[in-house]
């Protein structure tokens, strides 16, 4: 099958990481993939040497004629079977181009409904496949009145060749940060703002550190509340030296290998939990908030634990429980296999193609209305 991915969003987002991993998975499964991308973006660099044919282009908005021209050129040359989009400002251009050229369209939505009412009504019905990245997100669309057949679930894929256990790299990271090799490291990786639950996590970690002298915290990321978090951590003289801040990193794989456990403590609803499956792919157990789509990213009791968002005593106790090496080892042994079975690029790419085949079969059925079938 031939795919044309359009992802001209220049920012570093979870949707961008998803875009890269799915394209890589399709190539690895023997499909042909072209992509229209913003040059020098995360996606552009992420797809270098991947077998994806990259083409420069950019939609500055949904009416940008240069964006349409760039995609049309690749459609003419590559003759794709499907157009695939991940970013909101490209949804309508892809639907219009698909209708014009007789090519079906698959769109991914990485948020719970936040589109304008017109787009939220029509896009899931006009695209031949409209994917939410969790059951939680799909339920949000159904609650807005979108018919069940119009929204499918396809989880974020993770490249398990990239995200894998790497003890040597983990030791090197610890050494570079002055963390003892025998320390128990509670890791956080992501954006630092209040909705991510970083301040209740800090409080729970401080309490756990006083009970467990081997416990260190490694904070990977940046954001509007990073300075306030650093300041709060520094006010506790008995634990301040055991907090380590790295700032933002585009490559978290080495940091995951230095963690003993990952904390995903969001107090605001999350559509999914990509950082959770990335950590588990590296063999790291996860402590995660029981909120939004996060529970779909782990196997509670086997690869991690779900905890009440913002509940400091519950988080403190869970952190201390995972300071026990036997408990962590049990979860680590299950974590990577869980991701390989449910979220690896090979698995998700195969599920994606199966969904598209089902859409094509449905479009060929005489019982299907014209709005659901691609224009030819």
Helix%, strand%, coil% for the chain, nearest 5: 50, 15, 35
pLDDT tens digits, one per residue of 263-299: 999 999 999 999 999 999 999 999 999 999 999 999 9
363 pLDDT band, cuts 50/70/90, is: low
Q: Please count the helices (runs of H) and the strands (runs of E) in the chain.
A: 14, 13
Q: Pick the range with the lowest mean pLDDT from 6-10, 259-263, 303-307.
A: 6-10
Helix axes 226-234, 198-211, angle to 10 degrees: 20
Q: Look at residue 163 in the predicted model and tell me its pLDDT.
A: 95
Q: Which two tokens stand for residue 245?
A: 């801040």
- Work out the average pLDDT over 76-82: 97
Q: Which two tokens stand for residue 260?
A: 């003993």
Phi, psi torsion values for 306, nearest 5 degrees = -100, 135
Q: Which two tokens stand for residue 29?
A: 């499964």
Q: Pick the range with the lowest mean pLDDT from 232-246, 261-275, 354-368.
A: 354-368
Sign of CA dihedral 282, 288, 293, 298: positive
Q: Count CB-CB contacts under 10 A for residue 6.
A: 28
Average pLDDT score, the chain: 92
Cα(351)–Cα(362) distance, rounded to whole angstroms? Answer: 16
Beta-strand pair 215-220/184-189:
parallel
Provide the Cα torsion 199, 305, 155, 339; round to 10°.
120
The residue behind tokens 């069940």 is 148
Query: What are the helix (H) ranges across 110-214?
Result: 117-126, 135-143, 167-177, 198-211
Q: Look at residue 366 in the predicted model and tell me its pLDDT.
A: 41
Residues of the chain with CATH 3.40.50.2000: 2-157+344-372, 167-342
- Structurally, at CATH architecture level, domain 2-157+344-372 sits in 3-Layer(aba) Sandwich (3.40)
Q: Which two tokens stand for residue 85?
A: 């989009």
Q: Look at residue 373 in the predicted model and tell me its pLDDT.
A: 31
Cα(306)–Cα(15) distance, rounded to whole angstroms? Answer: 24
pLDDT tens digits, one per residue of 94-117: 999 999 999 999 999 988 877 888
Residue 195, pLDDT above cutoff 70: yes
Residue 362, pLDDT above cutoff 90: no
Helix axes 274-281, 14-28, angle to 10 degrees: 50
Cα(95)–Cα(3) distance, rounded to whole angstroms? Answer: 15
User: What are the angstrom distances between the C-alpha of 192 and each of 177, 198, 228, 234, 357?
Assistant: 20, 7, 10, 16, 40
The verdict on domain 167-342 having CATH code 3.40.50.2000 is yes
Residue 250, pLDDT above cutoff 90: no
The residue behind tokens 């719970």 is 112
- Work out the average pLDDT over 40-52: 92
Contact 208, 319 (CB under 8 A): yes
- Residues near 376 by Cβ (< 8 Å), separated by ≥ 6? 102
The DSSP bridge partners found for residue 289 are 307
Helix axes 65-78, 91-101, angle to 10 degrees: 40
Q: Look at residue 19 in the predicted model and tell me its pLDDT.
A: 93
Q: Look at residue 13 in the predicted model and tell me its pLDDT.
A: 78
pLDDT tens digits, one per residue of 282-341: 999 999 999 999 999 999 999 999 999 999 999 999 999 999 999 999 999 999 999 999
Beta-strand pair 215-220/243-247:
parallel
Cα(207)–Cα(88) distance, rounded to whole angstroms? Answer: 42
Cα(370)–Cα(376) distance, rounded to whole angstroms? Answer: 11
Query: What are the helix (H) ranges across the chain?
Result: 14-28, 42-46, 65-78, 91-101, 117-126, 135-143, 167-177, 198-211, 226-234, 253-258, 274-281, 312-321, 325-342, 345-364
Sign of CA dihedral 226, 227, 232, 237: positive
């Amino acid at each position: 099958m031939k795919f044309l991915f359009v992802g001209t969003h220049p920012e570093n987002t979870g949707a961008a990481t998803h875009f890269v991993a799915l394209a890589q998975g399709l190539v690895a499964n023997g499909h042909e993939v072209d992509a229209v991308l913003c040059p020098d973006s995360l996606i552009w660099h992420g797809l270098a040497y991947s077998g994806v044919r990259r083409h420069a282009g950019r939609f500055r908005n949904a009416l940008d004629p240069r964006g349409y021209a760039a995609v049309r050129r690749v459609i003419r040359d590559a003759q794709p079977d499907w157009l695939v989009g991940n970013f909101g400002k490209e949804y309508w251009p892809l639907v219009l181009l698909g209708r014009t050229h007789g090519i079906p369209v698959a769109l991914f939505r990485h948020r719970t409904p936040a589109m304008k009412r017109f787009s939220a009504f029509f896009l899931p019905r006009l695209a031949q496949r409209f994917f939410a990245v969790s059951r939680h997100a799909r339920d949000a669309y159904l609650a807005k009145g979108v018919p069940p057949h119009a929204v499918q679930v396809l989880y974020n894929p993770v490249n398990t060749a990239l995200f894998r256990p790497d003890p040597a790299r983990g030791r090197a990271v610890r050494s570079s940060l002055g963390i003892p090799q025998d320390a128990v490291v509670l890791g956080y990786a992501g954006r630092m703002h209040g909705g991510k639950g970083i301040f209740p996590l800090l409080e729970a970690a401080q309490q756990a550190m006083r009970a467990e002298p081997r416990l260190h915290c490694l904070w990977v990321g940046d954001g509007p509340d990073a300075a306030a978090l650093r300041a709060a951590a520094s006010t506790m003289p008995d634990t301040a030296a055991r907090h380590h801040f790295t700032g933002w990193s585009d490559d978290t794989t080495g940091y995951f290998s230095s963690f003993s456990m990952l904390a995903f403590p969001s107090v605001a609803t999350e559509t999914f939990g990509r950082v959770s499956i990335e950590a588990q792919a590296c063999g790291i157990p996860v402590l995660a908030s029981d909120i939004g789509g996060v529970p779909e990213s782990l196997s509670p009791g086997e690869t991690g634990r779900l905890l009440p968002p913002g509940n400091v005593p519950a988080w403190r106790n869970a952190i201390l429980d995972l300071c026990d090496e036997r408990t962590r080892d049990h979860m680590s042994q299950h974590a990577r296999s869980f991701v390989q079975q449910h979220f690896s690029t090979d698995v998700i790419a195969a599920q994606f193609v199966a969904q598209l085949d089902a859409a094509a079969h449905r479009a060929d059925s005489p019982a299907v209305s014209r709005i659901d079938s691609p224009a030819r």
